[in-house]
Amino acid sequence: MSVAPIPSAPKPKPEPAAGGTPAVGVRDLVFGYAAEYVPVFDHFDWTVAPGEMWALIGPSGCGKTTLLYLIAGLRQPQAGQVLVDGSPAPRPRASTGLILQDHGLLPWATVASNAGLGLRMGRLYRNKQAPPGQPRPYPPALPQEEATRWLDRLGIGHLADKYPAQLSGGQRQRVAIARTLALRPNLLLMDEPFSALDPLTRRDLQDQVVELQAELGITTILVTHSVEEAAFLGRRILLLTAPPNRTAPVIDNPGAGQPGFRAAPAFAQRVQTLHAHLGEVASGIRSGGQA
């Protein structure tokens, strides 16, 4: 079966999404870890419209997690801008949720306590004001029932009194998801959240993410090393290459998340296309050139 190439195109400039401000606007981004190294991003542009579901894929070291952390406000660009809802994020913002591979649960706290951590912080900081002109970094002061509701919604409400060590990997990741969604984010960033899970649990959580994203309309960006996961979850897929990233192909994948899509010929074709282009990137890295 032949693989349809991704057509090359001039480097696009971010434009506001139809009907409003982009959820994420990366403009002329320059970022690197040391002056003597090749920058990870070199005048890089990218736009995410509100409500979109993106997957970021590429070889190790290409900048997937770095880009996620720049959007989250955990790192800052050396030049250019990273805008969230039209404003720079000089620090983490309350309405951005970040879910990591290692769950980030407190081992001495129960499931209920872990899920409600952000809500307790919100009550503690309810009278704090954001710096002038900056997004509010403090969690919202919402009732504890928000965490309970999400634990029930994700099927683990009966584990509320358990501790992380007593849970499976999939259950721990559901706690992390409940803790994040309880804060009502409008942007959800996920850094390889399912990579350590067994295939059946991974597939079940992928299905739940699709269901929740459709239900809540949250703009979602997922970093993954799995081609199959990117093809199933990403309605748009950003393919990063070896640094420096100056532009990156965007693959539209409208069937992502639809019932039966994993068994559809379009899914197999998408997986094959992604494998082929990642193979081209790897070949370019081995030969010392830029793919």
Per-residue pLDDT of 155-186, as tens digits, reads 999 999 999 999 999 999 999 999 999 999 99
Query: CA angle 158-165-211, nearest 5°?
Result: 50
Q: What is the pLDDT, as a whole number, of residue 125?
A: 67
| Domains of the chain, earliest start first | 15-95+185-291 (3.40.50.300), 107-184 (no CATH)
What's the pTM?
0.86
pLDDT tens, residue by residue, 2-18: 334 433 333 434 444 44
At 36 the pLDDT is 64
Quick check: 68 and 223 in contact, CB under 8 A?
A: yes
Q: In this structure, which amino acid lies at residue 3?
A: V
pLDDT tens digit string along 225-271?
Answer: 999 999 999 999 999 998 899 999 999 999 999 989 999 999 999 99
Whole-number pLDDT of residue 289: 53
CB 38 within 8 A of CB 243: yes
What is the mean pLDDT of the segment spanning 55-71? 94
Q: 152-161 contacts: CB < 8 A, separation 24 or more? A: 153/178, 154/178, 154/208, 156/111, 159/111, 160/110, 160/111, 160/112, 160/115, 161/110, 161/111, 161/112
Q: Alpha-carbon distance 12 to 164, whole Å?
A: 45
Q: Are 150 and 182 in contact, with CB atoms under 8 Å apart?
A: yes
Structure confidence at residue 38 as a pLDDT band (50, 70, 90): confident
Do 14 and 46 meet the contact criterion of CB atoms below 8 Å apart? yes
Position 124 confidence tier, pLDDT thresholds 50, 70, 90 = confident
